């Protein structure tokens, strides 16, 4: 019998990056054909261990080889960025879209691409090479933003693929014919609508060239000089030219993305979601509350720590909905910025105190149940989120109308998608530089949920979201992604 082959995932540990890795790893453990290795930072280790234990419980009659976890040295991308920025609080991450945000992005992007000092980058690059030598994987699967690992795979000419938690539009749009990236598609983080209005074309071109200019940032140039001295001459991971012999796997589908030509190496599998525990098992009391009335879920992402001004506007916007629709309730995952916790509590009570007392609003700093499990209950009628890729794909898979209130970078791109597809509303299009405006946000809630039960426009959106959800469920998602990687590993 031939020795079992192994697959090695190299990923950042944040939920937004690692959820697709854990989702696919789950399916690979179920298939039990490959040894699974994951290299990341320590916060992901407990989740990987729990995943192995879960699969072993589900496959009690079979011996499942658990995930082997390898801890990266040094700090993660996010921790390194926070260390090197003067504003380290997560509450300071948000930036405006479009022209006003271009200068901010011009500064931010090099800090993320070159997250580590050149010496640290090379240390991670060499560490990845040593790990590959020990594990001897038949396939390496890369996080799209883990630049040192990309350098390792290209330099050593390893069999590798890229597993992205996001749409592949950022790599595909620049290849569309007739320079459509400039005049048809909204540039990254602009929040412009699709197709791009003629009036926005000059601004769009400026924003795109502002992003391209990052290639000549002193931080990038310094890192590239050190990389070159070590024989690494390819561009950094996020600026790698689209190479058609490297498989790119993502959770999107043509039906839930902007129209574009798809290259042969791009595998659009549909939402790649974690296998979830039903809410009845993870939080039965929450399920009991959800079943009381149609519910709006407000959850603005793992990294979102809301400032007092944002909390106030959200609370007032929620009040607009609840005053109009006495049959609706709201579940709000609120993780406040520590510096404004007391002020936030006061504002919420001032705006929603009566609704909270009557049980129509429930506020938790953390939810035991996974978002997908909540959406699966059938009690959620609208999902309000920040535009993170995971949230977008979870909502499209569940067939739930969305309100996107983007805060930074690609979250603006997903706001554009929900409006183009007719499955949701860009909830802070006017207020985005200030992030949230109560009147605009309240109007978005009424548009999606309906000012009354028979609201025709809301029903049309609901039906469109449901139809998209059916397509997503048929796509295969994590099962298809796992099969593609298995085929690449054993071929």
Residues near 283 by beta carbon (within 8 Å), at least 6 away in sequence? 367, 368, 369
Strand partners, 404: 385, 426
Distance (Å, whole) CA 257 – CA 148: 29
Residue 179's region, left for phi above 0, alpha for psi from -120 to 50, else beta, is left
- Please, are residues 261 and 172 in contact by the beta-carbon 8 Å criterion? yes
Q: pTM of this prediction?
A: 0.93
Cis peptide before 61 (omega within 30 of 0): no
**3-class DSSP state of 326:** coil
Q: Same topology for domains 6-99+114-171+220-270+476-490 and 279-474, yes or no?
A: yes
> Kind and range of the H or E element at 177?
none
Strand partners, 141: 9, 161
In the sheet that holds 329-333, the strands lie side by side as 361-364, 329-333, 295-299, 380-385, 402-404, 424-426
Mean pLDDT by 10 residues, the chain (491 residues): 86 92 97 96 95 94 94 85 56 72 76 87 97 98 93 95 93 92 93 95 92 86 95 76 78 97 93 94 96 96 68 92 96 73 61 85 91 96 96 97 91 96 96 81 97 94 98 96 97 82
Q: What per-residue string of b and e applies to 242-281 under the rule 16 or more CB within 10 Å gives b?
A: eeeebbbbbbbbeebbbebeeeebbbbbbbbbbbbeebee
Tokens 């011009």, residue located: 106
pLDDT at 472 (0 to 100): 97
DSSP state of 140: E
Q: What are 190's two structure tokens?
A: 């602009």
pLDDT at 1 (0 to 100): 42
Strand partners, 248: 162, 266
pLDDT at 160 (0 to 100): 96
pLDDT at 89 (0 to 100): 46
Q: What are 467's two structure tokens?
A: 């139809």
**3-class DSSP state of 332:** strand
Distance (Å, whole) CA 439 – CA 455: 19
Q: What per-residue string of b and e applies to 337-363 under the rule 16 or more CB within 10 Å gives b?
A: beebeebbeebbeebbeebbeeebbbb
- CA dihedral (80, 85, 89, 92) positive or negative: negative
The answer as to CATH 3.40.190.10 being correct for domain 6-99+114-171+220-270+476-490 is: no
Domain 279-474 -> CATH class: alpha beta
> Kind and range of the H or E element at 298?
strand 295-299
Strand partners, 332: 298, 363
CA dist 123 to 76, 227, 398, Å?
13, 11, 42
**How many other CB atoms sit within 10 Å of the CB of residue 464?**
16
Listed in order, strand segments (DSSP E) in 214-264 are 248-250
- Domains of the chain, residue spans: 6-99+114-171+220-270+476-490, 279-474
């Amino acid at each position: 019998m031939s020795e079992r082959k192994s697959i090695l995932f190299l990923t950042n540990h944040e939920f937004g990056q690692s959820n697709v890795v854990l989702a696919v790893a789950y399916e690979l453990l179920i298939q039990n054909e490959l040894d699974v290795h994951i290299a990341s930072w320590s916060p992901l280790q407990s989740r990987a261990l729990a995943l192995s234990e879960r699969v072993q419980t589900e496959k009690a009659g079979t011996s499942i080889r658990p995930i082997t976890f390898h801890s990266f040295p040094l700090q993660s991308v996010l921790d390194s960025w926070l260390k090197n920025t003067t504003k380290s609080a997560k509450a300071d991450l948000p930036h405006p879209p479009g022209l006003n945000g271009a200068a901010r992005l011009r500064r931010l992007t090099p800090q993320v691409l070159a997250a580590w000092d050149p010496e640290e980058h090379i240390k991670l690059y060499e560490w990845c090479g040593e790990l590959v030598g020990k594990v001897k994987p038949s396939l390496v699967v890369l996080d799209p933003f883990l630049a040192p690992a990309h350098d390792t795979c290209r330099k050593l000419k390893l069999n590798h693929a890229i597993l992205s938690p996001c749409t592949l539009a950022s790599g595909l749009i620049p290849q569309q014919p007739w320079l459509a990236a400039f005049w048809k598609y909204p540039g990254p983080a602009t929040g412009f609508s699709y197709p791009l209005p003629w009036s926005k074309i000059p601004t769009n071109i400026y924003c795109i060239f502002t992003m391209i200019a990052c290639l000549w940032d002193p931080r990038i140039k310094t890192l590239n000089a050190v990389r070159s001295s070590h024989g690494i001459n390819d561009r950094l991971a996020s600026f790698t030219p689209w190479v058609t012999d490297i498989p790119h796997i993502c959770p999107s589908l043509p039906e839930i993305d902007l129209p574009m030509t798809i290259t042969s190496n791009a595998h659009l599998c549909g939402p790649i979601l974690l296998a979830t525990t039903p809410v009845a098992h993870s939080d039965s009391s929450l399920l009991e509350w959800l079943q009381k009335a149609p519910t709006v879920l407000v959850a603005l992402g793992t990294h979102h720590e809301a400032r007092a001004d944002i909390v106030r506007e959200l609370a007032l916007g929620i009040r607009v909905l609840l005053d109009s629709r006495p049959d609706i309730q709201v579940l709000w995952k609120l993780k406040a910025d520590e510096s404004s916790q007391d002020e936030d509590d006061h504002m919420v009570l001032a705006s929603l105190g009566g609704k909270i007392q009557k049980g129509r609003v429930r506020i938790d700093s953390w939810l035991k149940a996974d978002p997908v499990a909540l959406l699966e209950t059938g009690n959620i009628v609208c999902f309000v989120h920040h535009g993170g890729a995971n949230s977008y794909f979870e909502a499209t898979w569940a067939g739930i109308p969305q309100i996107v209130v983007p805060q930074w970078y690609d979250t603006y791109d997903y706001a554009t998608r929900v409006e183009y597809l007719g499955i949701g509303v860009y909830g802070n299009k006017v207020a985005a530089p200030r992030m949230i405006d109560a009147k605009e946000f309240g109007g978005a809630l009424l548009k999606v949920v309906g000012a009354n039960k028979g609201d025709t426009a809301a029903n049309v959106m609901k039906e469109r979201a449901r139809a998209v959800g059916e397509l997503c469920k048929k796509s295969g998602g994590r099962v298809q992604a796992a099969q593609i990687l298995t085929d690449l590993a054993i071929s």
